[in-house]
Amino acid sequence: MTRKWDQADDITQEVFIKVYRNLYTFRNESSVKTWILTITRNMTLDYRRSAFYRKVTLMDFLAPSAESSSAEQAVIDKMAVNDLWKMVLRLPVKYREVLILYAHYQLSMKEMAQILGVTEGTVKSRLFHARKKMTKLKESHSHGAD
């Protein structure tokens, strides 16, 4: 949601501090995973609204990668994954959220609806449109690479 790895790392640290401090408030109305993802989403939205986010842009940096048996294959795989994530990050937030919750966190429609505060029908609709937009982005990317 932040489009920047370092900001996401900062938010993740803050989420786990908040979870640790407030674990006693967990009411078992949903899974722990859903509870933590809801906290994460809310903290991310708060972060994006904050003055710090609007006024300060942190520079991205390259992280060293681990060696693998086939350097060529590792580079090809990483490029494919990076390209896919770049496409996901180009989507509007409401589509990006459902794709990340569905594909990365493997949440059910009901869990996603709880986290996002919308109906399951809205989640299904957003997921449908997100997939449609991703297909268009992939097609335009593959035609641009030819």
pLDDT for position 65: 52
Query: Of the candidates 29, 18, 137, which has an alpha carbon nearest to the alpha carbon of residue 88?
Result: 137
Residue pair 34/114 in contact (Cβ under 8 Å)? The answer is yes
What pLDDT, in 10s, does the model give residues 48-69?
777 555 555 444 444 555 544 5
Q: Are 1 and 44 in contact (CB under 8 A)?
A: yes
CA 122: distance to chain centroid? 18
Helices first, then strands: H and E counts in the chain? 7, 0
Say what the pLDDT of residue 117 is: 92
Distance CA 106, CA 95 (A): 15
- Residues 33, 105 contacting (CB under 8 angstroms): yes
Structure tokens at 59: 């520079």
pLDDT tens, position by position, 75-99: 777 777 777 778 888 889 999 989 8
Q: Please say whether the beta carbons of 115 and 44 come within 8 A.
A: no
